[in-house]
Amino acid sequence: MKNIYIMSDLHGQDKAFFQMLEKIKFSSQDFLFIIGDVGDRGPNGIMLLQYIMKQDNMCLLMGNHEEMMLEAVEDEDDDKGYMSNWMFNGGAATLEGLKKLSEQEREECLEYVRNLPLYQKIVMNETTYLLVHAGIIPTEDKKNLEHAKVTKDELLWTRYEFLQSDMIMPYCIIFGHTPTPALPRYAKGLSIENQMRCKEGKMIHWRNRIAIDCGAGFGKKLGCLRLNDMLEFYIRIKN
């Protein structure tokens, strides 16, 4: 593989996604990890999902929005309120995209999402990285990833307990879920420089964590990190 890239929280922003692929000169020799939330909020989540699932050199991890979609479409009677929760969190365009698919295409998409991994471990330049949508709550028993006991809710939804923890894990956690422009509300220990980067919608590196959701779902930026040399790329969302 030539280069390994990481993106997160595309949120249906197909134009920005394909502009990013052009910007980084993404080739068949490269590999891209997308750490959750391909759909919702933006216009073309299902189109992006169909594209990604056909690529041999792209890997999508589960995000909380993928989970909300599955819960909503699989709860036919909506007796648990999953559909209303999904709609409240921007699922309308994704639902419309699903409805336009044939029954076979729809089932292929849903089956693909059902089988998405919750996290991915990567070793690059002698550093171990944990790719995960929301994060992992730092505890002593999770320092060894091979034997860590984590819950799905933690990996897809955690925020305060992860972002405010003083504990520095022996691996670098690359995550999305919390847009960096909003990070100062939740994170503890951000330097003045990092707070300024948050205002600019850039990626944030602190306490062996890297936040890469730059707010594409809220009209800010789509970010992409090249793991080989930690170079950052950005595309501003234009609606």
Model confidence, pTM: 0.95
Nearest alpha-carbon partner for 9 in 195, 199, 183: 183
Q: What pLDDT is recorded for position 60?
A: 98
Q: What pLDDT is recorded for position 80?
A: 79
The C-alpha atoms of residue 72 and residue 69 are separated, in whole angstroms, by: 5
Helix (H, G, I), strand (E, B) or coil at 31: strand
Beta strand segments in 66-141, E? 119-124, 127-132
**Number of separate domains in the chain:** 1
pLDDT digits (tens, 9 = 90+) for 123-140: 999 999 999 999 999 999
**Which residue range(s) make up the domain with 100?**
4-236
Let me know: does 108 contact 49? Beta carbons within 8 Å.
no
Instruction: State the CATH number of the domain containing residue 33.
Output: 3.60.21.10
pLDDT digits (tens, 9 = 90+) for 64-77: 999 999 999 988 66
Query: How is 127-181 classified by DSSP, letter by letter?
Result: EEEEEESS-----GGGSSGGG----HHHHHH--HHHHT-----SSEEEE-SS-GG
Q: What pLDDT is recorded for position 147?
A: 78
Q: What pLDDT is recorded for position 238?
A: 84
pLDDT digits (tens, 9 = 90+) for 75-129: 866 677 899 999 999 999 999 999 999 999 999 999 999 999 999 999 999 999 9
DSSP state of 219: T
Q: What is the mean pLDDT of residues 36-61?
A: 97
pLDDT of residue 191 exceeding 80, the answer is yes
Q: What is the mean pLDDT of residues 201-221?
A: 96
